[in-house]
Structure 1
């Protein structure tokens, strides 16, 4: 074979997609019959290219990715089409063949590191298992090298630690290390940063991009964040109800969406919405014309005052020694009645600890929390019971905050029963009214949490929080686990309820794009301290601290709708 012939063949391979999906159909067998999760899906990924699949939960994006790596659940099967990996159709490949391909040809970074890392195995052992399974050198130095390449410092020591000893970002880096340890031709990244703060997210994605570029690895990125997809991918594929409804170059698709569903995604993406507000203001359009702030020009009294709040934990260091750690250090702010104040910052900034102290789930080490003129630290017994009726929480994870053994009626009715409000008939009437308020059908009452979508569960959590007619609701990352369209629906619902009921919100979040949509005032926390505070417009348009600017700059896709001169 001549040198010229070899070059022609290499060029032909480079011109061939590393992954090509043609008319893919996937069916699940359920108790209610067969369900077509994917219908005639198609996409292609060239060598070294990043392609993102976007869509809401149930659109078929993760199912398509799982089929590509041969990891469909037992009740799922490919019922049509082809999955061509480097020219080989693997749609119906044997498990033995897929084991040969996984790791060396296809790697995967799954969504939730706490669920996908074995809690009883050390991190190094889990990396070693992957190397060993693929016939790669798996000594301590090899394991440490893989972890170091994924950006984990002091890799030899980290290899001897367990997942619970890692932060969320470090656990995600460990999964990236495992996914790329054997230099696969294709990496499937399924929502790899959805649970991370925006700054950690940017660092993880930057490092993932650097590693895949150095290895020449193609990436199939699964995400519900259209802004992130447009910023990180060469091409975007939009899926809806099992179908590919639109595909194309990322910026072109973002700026000129054609399908109605894609248009809805673009309009609902909070990172893009916040930038549209700024762009409109520069063109002389008031933000109030796009989003009406809750406080719109009305004088309000301060329902909540936090003064010099401090929370110190004792950390054990072994040998009977301990050290003090200030999770919250001298934090002061106030919240006006009927408005929304957001507390933002990275994981570990202390924002959730503040929320727990306001709810009296934690007691402050120092400082005061004044609610309606009364210091809550002194509340006990009946007074504390009454306070908790007036201040209610909505937690982050609707999958974990609802009791799976309670049906929806009992879930919402329980606070009424605990506080001895009404009789059985009046409580049922109240539950029905609450379901109407959060736009859930009456038939939902007899269903269980596992029978509802994430957005429906979060609506149930909101209805439960409203059951006692509270004055203040603490929303702790209440929309961070939701798809962009469901997130927009829940944010709109919270805004409508605030307008109707005069509610006050303390909104804890790491997502500044969401803050721009819902908050009147913003408090920025870093390492336990309050570093910046002000109106939402002031903080977003003229941030004073480098840390705040870093948070704003990390919003994925935030600059993509602006012309270069503005961005």
Structure 2
């Protein structure tokens, strides 16, 4: 059953009167194991799911639950040390679990397409985007002219597609790279599309555009979609059925809204309680019912993932009494980049245009907006990583432009970043211990024994085993890498933390843990956060103040509840309406979960 936000709706098998229609994909008792130096590890056990023609099925679960591994087995792309050790993968009745590579190559592209998660690892940096799209079209016998390539890119939401096709991946933003991957996955109009976190790097409005396109394709072409996501709100809004995986097992499955309203397995209940998009919806339902949302979302054993909301709510109430001073003040901040437009020629591009705001000590201020709105550029200037073109940044009463090198070194200890991309922000040559210890060593904090103790404590705080210290970034999942980045930022006990999409790569349970951690540190240590994000569902729960940016300008600002309850600008309304799960009609029992 589709949610009413769709302009068109799919016709189910039963509605069509075709009860004899066979599943497009059926996974029966699937088992997957990996050969490691410590022996064989069972990653997936007795997994099962069914996808009918034209149906969207979502697999949800935390990192390491086996959802991506299950999908990779269905397209024959398991790592070399992985194998299907039991069960069946039936595609149109054909068991492809043990199919030879030649047969899998025939199926990939025209029959099964895939949108992988990480665009930097899956786009060739030395090939133009258009060439990579053309390569896919040509390999599958499709028309591959310039207009065909541009059409594919345009369908995935890339503007000025003819020009973009001539650019390289490094010339695209993270969201644009993800859209290019989506274009490649959809280019041959496969019967089954496996989408592994296809919109995790996208802002909410582009996310909606991409998912609307997937829905349209499902409706018009009968394409089935296997959607892998950690956002249960998105899964419930977009999928007909949801499959929940935990530690390699399918623990619950069923129609999306039924499963959302009546989760039965304790793990599914935790996912529902922890999903930011659903928590944001619960706040809205609570206000409509005249119930204090803070009471609904206060910490409890029933909703462990929502604990940070109660902490922040208490903190907000305290703000009206204490009126803390501003620790950070941005005044008329602008940044103009010189873009090369030809040999010996350049053009000005204004990324940030006269932005002003203040951040009170001990509070959280969120800067939200679409990709390219300038929010990350503001964060880099606040961190003193980019010089402003004009305007000033005042930290603790001092203009940061007047700091000498020694004072900047001290400033960096007091203000720490958590960057968006855990793949690019961790040195692949450093093990995790050295990665987290590096700021302590750089600032000459303690001896090796005390630093090792501190690293162990930090790993505990971000829910990573201490044995992780001896591993390297390439041995960790994306979510685990981001937790390492959070631990590194906390190492120096900073006063201000700039979080640039700090939780966008995390599954909802780990996201809730990290947000809990940040809220606890704020309450105990008086930390101040500048939170850069495209996830407005998270903003509603963690931020005291919101700044909305569009095309480099600050278009709306105010207290979080004021902006969410009564947005003044159409752009802000569009962002709020695009939150996954915003259209779900949740009954009161879900609102009080």
Other-structure match for 1:189: 195
Please list, as runs of the form range in 1=range in 2, the aligned pairs for 1:8-23 lying within 5 A after superposition: 15-23=21-29
Pair 1:154–1:373, CA change in 2 (3 A):
closer
Other-structure match for 2:37: 31
Give 3-state SS (helix, strand or coil) of 2:499's partner.
strand
- Which stretch of structure 1 is more off in the superposition, 100-109 or 538-547? 100-109
Pair 1:292–1:202, CA change in 2 (3 A):
same
Matched, 1:302 2:326: yes
Other-structure match for 1:4: none
Matched, 1:525 2:549: yes
Q: Distance in 2 between matches of 1:149 and 1:429?
A: 52
Matched, 1:537 2:558: no
Kept in 1, the 8 Å contact 2:440–2:492? The answer is yes
Q: Distance in 2 between matches of 1:401 and 1:180?
A: 30
- Which stretch of structure 1 is more off in the superposition, 88-97 or 460-469? 460-469
Q: 1:252 deviation in Å?
A: 0.8
Q: Distance in 2 between matches of 1:507 and 1:157?
A: 33
Q: 1:172 deviation in Å?
A: 3.5
Other-structure match for 1:353: 377
Q: Distance in 2 between matches of 1:433 and 1:223?
A: 30
Q: 1:360 deviation in Å?
A: 0.8
Kept in 1, the 8 Å contact 2:439–2:491? The answer is yes
Give 3-state SS (helix, strand or coil) of 1:555's partner.
coil
Q: Which runs of 4+ in 1 moved over 6 A?
A: 10-14
Give 3-state SS (helix, strand or coil) of 2:57's partner.
strand
- Which stretch of structure 1 is more off in the superposition, 130-139 or 253-262? 130-139
Q: 1:159 deviation in Å?
A: 3.6
Matched, 1:515 2:536: no
Matched, 1:405 2:405: no
Pair 1:328–1:113, CA change in 2 (3 A):
same
Q: Distance in 2 between matches of 1:431 and 1:128?
A: 47
Other-structure match for 2:501: 477
Other-structure match for 2:306: none
Q: 1:398 deviation in Å?
A: 3.2
Please list, as runs of the form range in 1=range in 2, the aligned pairs for 1:160-179 lying within 5 A after superposition: 160-179=166-185
TM-superposition CA deviations, 1:58-99 (whole Å, max 9, x none): 111111111111111111111111111111111111111111
Under a length normalisation based on structure 1, what TM-score does the superposition of the two structures give? Answer: 0.92
- The size of the alignment, in residue pairs, is 556
Please list, as runs of the form range in 1=range in 2, the aligned pairs for 1:441-460 lying within 5 A after superposition: 443-452=467-476, 454-460=478-484
Gapped runs of 5+ residues in structure 1?
1-9
Gapped runs of 5+ residues in structure 2?
1-15, 298-309
Q: 1:151 deviation in Å?
A: 4.6
Give 3-state SS (helix, strand or coil) of 2:514's partner.
helix
Pair 1:500–1:104, CA change in 2 (3 A):
same
Q: 1:508 deviation in Å?
A: 0.9
Give 3-state SS (helix, strand or coil) of 2:317's partner.
coil
Pair 1:388–1:129, CA change in 2 (3 A):
closer
Kept in 2, the 8 Å contact 1:26–1:77? The answer is yes
Q: 1:220 deviation in Å?
A: 1.0
Q: Distance in 2 between matches of 1:137 and 1:442?
A: 53
Pair 1:110–1:451, CA change in 2 (3 A):
closer
Q: 1:165 deviation in Å?
A: 3.7
Kept in 2, the 8 Å contact 1:176–1:208? The answer is no
Kept in 1, the 8 Å contact 2:157–2:206? The answer is no
Q: 1:389 deviation in Å?
A: 1.6
- Which stretch of structure 1 is more off in the superposition, 238-247 or 114-123? 114-123
Please list, as runs of the form range in 1=range in 2, the aligned pairs for 1:476-495 lying within 5 A after superposition: 476-495=500-519
Matched, 1:61 2:85: no
Other-structure match for 1:365: 389
Q: Distance in 2 between matches of 1:118 and 1:222?
A: 23
TM-superposition CA deviations, 1:340-396 (whole Å, max 9, x none): 111111111111111111111111111111111111111012222222221111222
- Which stretch of structure 1 is more off in the superposition, 117-126 or 520-529? 117-126
Give 3-state SS (helix, strand or coil) of 2:180's partner.
helix
Under a length normalisation based on structure 2, what TM-score does the superposition of the two structures give? Answer: 0.88
Kept in 1, the 8 Å contact 2:418–2:499? The answer is yes
Kept in 1, the 8 Å contact 2:311–2:520? The answer is no
Larger CA Rg, structure 1 vs 2: 1
Q: Distance in 1 between matches of 2:419 and 2:290?
A: 38
Q: Distance in 2 between matches of 1:444 and 1:115?
A: 23
- Which stretch of structure 1 is more off in the superposition, 133-142 or 270-279? 133-142
Q: Distance in 2 between matches of 1:424 and 1:145?
A: 57
Other-structure match for 1:244: 250
Q: Distance in 1 between matches of 2:180 and 2:440?
A: 45
Q: Distance in 2 between matches of 1:168 and 1:426?
A: 38
Please list, as runs of the form range in 1=range in 2, the aligned pairs for 1:497-512 lying within 5 A after superposition: 497-512=521-536
State the Cα RMSD in Å. Answer: 2.4
Other-structure match for 1:7: none
Please list, as runs of the form range in 1=range in 2, the aligned pairs for 1:138-153 lying within 5 A after superposition: 138-153=144-159
Q: 1:457 deviation in Å?
A: 4.0
